[in-house]
């Protein structure tokens, strides 16, 4: 296969993956984030590997990109934090207790009932993601997952999920990123309206 054919095949297969995601699922996810913002609640986001990068990117976009640019920024803001970003705390929990608790224990420190946990996982089976969801449910948080394959162990545990039904990790992670950007773009109008 030539490089051009490979590129065209990748683009076509990714386009088919995006087309397979029901718009209703994205609408539900965007509305849950909007409602969390409107209620003045906190959003926590977690993932591993490439999904950790997506979690950090999503938190940045929700907290900053939704504000727009300029000197007169909205006072009401989406309060989003990626549980992947405090490396000393992640390594302390991972080393002293176990990697499966690195997100759950942060929730115990920071979260309150009514907040929202967003987990991002291609497999949906990472022990630290599963434990974070269990902890969130115990604490009264709403839960939303961006998943791949068939959703894994996380899918039946969360309030809402978007499952990218695909076995190609790149396409799954690409789709999660696209949905994050789509949701961010949608939420700008609510944040910037003040």
What is the predicted pLDDT for the residue at 73? Answer: 84
What is the predicted pLDDT for the residue at 71? Answer: 78
Domain range for 110: 3-192
**For position 157, which CATH number holds?**
3.40.50.10490
Report helix, strand or coil for 144: strand
Q: What is the mean pLDDT of residues 119-144?
A: 98
- If you average pLDDT over every residue of the chain, what do you get? 96
Query: What is the number of domains present in the chain?
Result: 1
CB half-sphere exposure, 77, CA atoms < 13 A: 16
Answer yes or no: is pLDDT of 194 > 80: no
Taking Cα atoms as reference points, which of 65, 25, 55 lies closest to residue 158? 25
What is the predicted pLDDT for the residue at 63? Answer: 96
Q: What is the pLDDT of residues 31-82, one digit of tens each?
A: 999 999 999 999 999 999 999 999 999 999 999 999 988 777 888 899 999 9
44 bridge partner residues: 81, 117
Are the C-beta atoms of residues 119 and 158 closer than 8 Å to each other? yes
Please give the helix or strand (H or E) that residue 135 lies within, else none.
Answer: helix 127-139
Q: What is the pLDDT of residues 161-184, one digit of tens each?
A: 999 999 999 999 999 999 999 999
pTM summary value = 0.96
Taking Cα atoms as reference points, which of 193, 74, 100, 80 lies closest to residue 153? 100
What is the predicted pLDDT for the residue at 147? Answer: 98
What is the predicted pLDDT for the residue at 72? Answer: 79
Q: What is the pLDDT of residues 100-110, one digit of tens each?
A: 999 999 999 99
């Amino acid at each position: 296969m030539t490089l051009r054919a490979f590129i065209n095949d990748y683009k076509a297969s990714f386009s088919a993956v995006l087309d397979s995601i029901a718009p209703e699922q994205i609408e539900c996810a965007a509305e849950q984030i909007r409602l969390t913002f409107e209620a003045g609640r906190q959003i926590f986001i977690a993932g591993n590997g490439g999904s950790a990068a997506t979690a950090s990117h999503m938190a940045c976009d929700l907290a900053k990109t939704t504000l727009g640019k300029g000197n007169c920024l909205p006072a009401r803001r989406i309060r989003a934090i990626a549980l992947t970003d405090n490396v000393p705390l992640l390594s302390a929990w991972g080393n002293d207790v176990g990697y499966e608790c690195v997100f759950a224990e942060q929730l115990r420190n920071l979260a309150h009932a009514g907040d929202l946990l967003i987990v991002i996982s291609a497999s949906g089976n990472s022990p630290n993601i599963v434990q974070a969801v269990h902890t969130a449910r115990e604490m009264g948080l709403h839960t939303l997952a961006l998943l791949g394959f068939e959703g894994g162990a996380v899918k039946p545990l969360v309030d809402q999920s978007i499952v990218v039904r695909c076995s190609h990790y790149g396409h799954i992670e690409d789709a999660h990123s696209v949905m994050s950007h789509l949701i961010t773009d949608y939420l700008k109008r609510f944040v910037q309206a003040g």
